[in-house]
Structure 1
Amino acid sequence: MAKTLPSAPPSETTVVSGRKRTLREKIGTGPLFISIVFHLILVIVGFLWVFRIILPEEEKVDFMPASGGGGTPLSDSKANQHRVRMTQPNMARIAALGATSNLVLPDPDESSSIVSVGDMSSGGLAGGLGGSGTGGGKGTGDGKGIGAGFGSGLGTGGGMKNPFGMLTQDKDALVGTFYDLKQNKDGTPTGFQEKETLEAISQFVTRGNWNIRLLEKYYKAPNTLYQTKLYIPIMDAAEAPNAFGCGKDVQPVNWVALYRGYVTPPRSGKFRFVGRADNVLVIRFNSKVVLDGGDYSAGMARPIWDKGSIDLLAGRSGNRDAEKEARRGGYDLPVKSYDYSNAGQYNERGGLMAGKHFTVNQGQRYPVEILISELGGLFGASLMIEEDGVNYEKDSTGSPILPLFRLDQSQPAPSQESRGSPPYVLENATWKVVPGQMVDGI
């Protein structure tokens, strides 16, 4: 009888109940399994903690508080692109321990703890036309007035100073008054279009001898502005009634603004005004019209930007009847004019016009009156002054770069030097406004 061999113990690969044993069954639920799970959890927690320290949450930088006023989303986005105030940390004092030296490092200066790179005032970050900013009056301009961005007065953004004048009374400025020739004094319509408006202006500056009563019968704006210079880039003509506080009541065409006062020159000499406007610019100095430099002639009551008129004023027409008309309109033929590299449409319309010479004595006062008007939809004007016998720097066109006719030391903002505005040179010697009651009709 054969011997029966004892069966071998089941191996690790022995099938139990028709399946393979799991890892948990192989390892068991004892201390080894618990230890492995615990250490795995520690590794995961440690990894997440270290990763959080290395990559902290990104901190958002607020460049600017929201600008006030009537700006557009475009102006707000532009404001966020401006500079932020940068700071330099206060550096610790450094010393070498155990070393001896006669050199002593100074204590850090408190002023070095913060270094300002730029000013964050919202006025300096004003947006474009109708933009944002700060102001001392109604609106969002950087200055004393109403509107949306001009400096001392009202504005149209871009940090631009108000070219139509300041609301705050200024003894060093001409007094500006605004009239709407489309309305009578009581607000009823006059029915004036371009032709009638130009005829009314011509009557005022010629036969009317600048008698203010001829304008007082029309609608008068509630605001009085104070003007120290005339340097207005070509812009929406609605900015004028907006400046004078009647934008809701006056359409931006067929209006007149008149600035008046007494001035005294910085020195005795012979001078002449040089200027241009779209549409009307007339200067009366010492009771005489010395410049009629707009695209429309107040003296002849008609437009003068066409080629025939340009040739006429330049003395090239050969038309004696037309020349007589021009002389009756107050022009001394040929009229001197200047082109400038950045004067745009003014060059195409005959250039900046040089007026008649006049002689002044230092210390003596002279009445000056400046009339501007718009008959279409865009307006711009610039007024310079040229002294006889002075050699000025030349533009690339060969024309002299002249000083602004200004009554204080302020100057236009860089953003105003556009769209027809000629170059200018700054001069310390300014004309001064002096007290005096204007006399009408002389």
Structure 2
Amino acid sequence: MLAINRACELVRELDCGEIVDGIIDICNVSVEPTRVRFDPKRINEILGTSISREEMSELLKRIEMIVDGDEIIVPAYRNDIINTADVAEEIVRLYGVDKILPTQFECRAVEGKLTNYQAFLKKINDTCVGLGFDEIYTYSFISPKMFDKIHIPENDVRRDVIRIRNPLGDDTSVMRTTALPSILEALMHNYNHRSPVCRLFECATLYQKSESDMSYESKSLAIAFYGEGDFYDMKGYIEAILKHLGVKGWRIQSDEENPSYHPGRCAKVIIGDKKVGSFGQIHPSVASEFEIGTDVYAATLDVTKMYGSADSDKHYEPLPVFPGIERDLALVMDKDIEAQTVIDSIVRFSGKSLCSVKIFDVYTGKGVPDGKKSVAFRLTFRLPDKTMNDAEAEQAVSKILKKLKENCDIEIRS
């Protein structure tokens, strides 16, 4: 009405029309007050308040909204009030936002974390980096010719590959079943660029067929180096990785059936009765296939099998209370007897007093018969409840020597 009155006043002042008495309503629709649900509990939940029903009613009366039971009669001119949220907005405007006390957010943020397997992979990466290796990422597709380059036999299961339907070329036409060619290619790239030392690793994804002709993926840890180090350095790296990952029940044996590696300079890692990987010096002819003109050492380990045998819990033991006794034994044995076999026998025959067995010397020459070798072992004995004396140590050594003679034909060097 204020706007209409002002318009009429301007018409009279400007003398641009004639003002007549009365008001004519040309609206054909009758506008009646509307009703909206009145829910004090829901209004308090929306606002985070505890306003009583009576106080809400008084506030609404101030803006011509009348509470009628569970409904509110809303004036016709307030067509913006259509639901409970609109009513809550009017109440808080009249009540005063400054009167609403802050409340704690009733929600807890969940911290994201790695799965156990992802944490295991990260631990592998951290361990390899700590040992001085650089991580690489290589393509998952390779050339079928790579199997010939690393001397994989024709009937080997690794040649049963998954072929790509639309390869970019023959060099990228199959999915890899071994990580060895990929890491050797990376070494070749560094060698051709005259890098004197190269130490690389990769947790590579392998793609293999199953008996149902469906493919499945697995992870393989590949590490390789040239320039510095030898077979025993690689063996030390493998042992450090297995120990740091908490892998249980592993042992190392010589591997004479792996054509990719130098004969006599290759070993395999076994967990239980399953082979989980190999390591050693790459066969010179394989190295020449990749145009690497120096000794190359590499290893591949099945990550899935290691994960299944790993113990994530750390176990601590108190420091020994009583001193130990060391005894050095130089044992003469056939050249083809593995030192690990002798260590296993010593542990088996020694009893609970033996703490550790270490090799510190291998000798062939004067004083050692042909076809024989002398291997020196350092044995440490310790008792948990008292100090071990010399007589007890000698008794333990005598028992070990007797069993080695009877079972393995191994004698102490005179």
Kindly indicate which of the two structures has a greater share of residues assigned to helix. 2
Category of TM-score, reference length = shorter chain = under 0.3
Superposition TM-score, scaled by structure 2 size = 0.23
Larger RCO (CA within 8 A; separation ≥ 6): 1
